[in-house]
């Protein structure tokens, strides 16, 4: 005989397994799309290619080329010979709306 507690544990275990498998498959599809991304060279043709794309945006691409620092190259303290630059960041804030039912933003 199976007790209701065992049925509850079995059901919740199956539900969590299904949820985690769904999340795994969704992330695996994103990773596959990123790995299949076209590799483009940074050259004079790149602005024309971006402006010709739908919505002037390329969803997943890998850019290859030489990057020049704006001021100084950053060098790693932990790995000798490893250098990098800081990418320009664009911060976009989304408007928050107060939810009076949940009492949160």
Q: pLDDT tens-digit profile of 57-83? A: 887 788 888 878 878 888 989 988 888
Residue 19 lies in a domain: yes
Whether pLDDT at 14 is above 80? yes
Contact status, residue 105 vs residue 99, Cβ threshold 8 Å: yes
Indicate whether 90 pLDDT > 70.
no
- Give a yes or no: residue 48 inside a domain: yes
pLDDT at residue 89 greater than cutoff 70: no
pLDDT of residue 16: 97
Number of structural domains in the chain? 1
Residue 35 maps to a domain: yes
What is the chain's mean pLDDT, rounded? 86
Specify if 57 maps to a domain.
yes
**Comparing C-alpha atoms, which of 82, 105, 103 is closest to residue 93?**
105
Domain that holds residue 13: 4-84
Q: Is residue 97 part of a domain?
A: no
How many whole angstroms separate alpha carbon 34 and alpha carbon 28?
10
Is 20 among the domain residues? yes
């Amino acid at each position: 005989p199976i007790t209701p507690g065992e049925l509850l544990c079995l059901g919740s275990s199956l539900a969590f397994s299904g949820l985690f498998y769904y999340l795994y498959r969704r992330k695996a599809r994103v990773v596959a799309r990123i790995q299949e991304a076209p590799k483009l060279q940074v050259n004079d043709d790149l602005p024309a290619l971006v402006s010709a794309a739908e919505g002037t945006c390329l969803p997943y691409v890998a850019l290859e080329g030489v990057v020049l620092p704006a001021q100084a190259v950053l060098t790693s303290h932990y790995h000798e010979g490893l250098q990098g630059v800081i990418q320009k960041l664009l911060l976009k804030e989304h408007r928050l709306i107060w939810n009076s039912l949940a009492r949160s933003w």
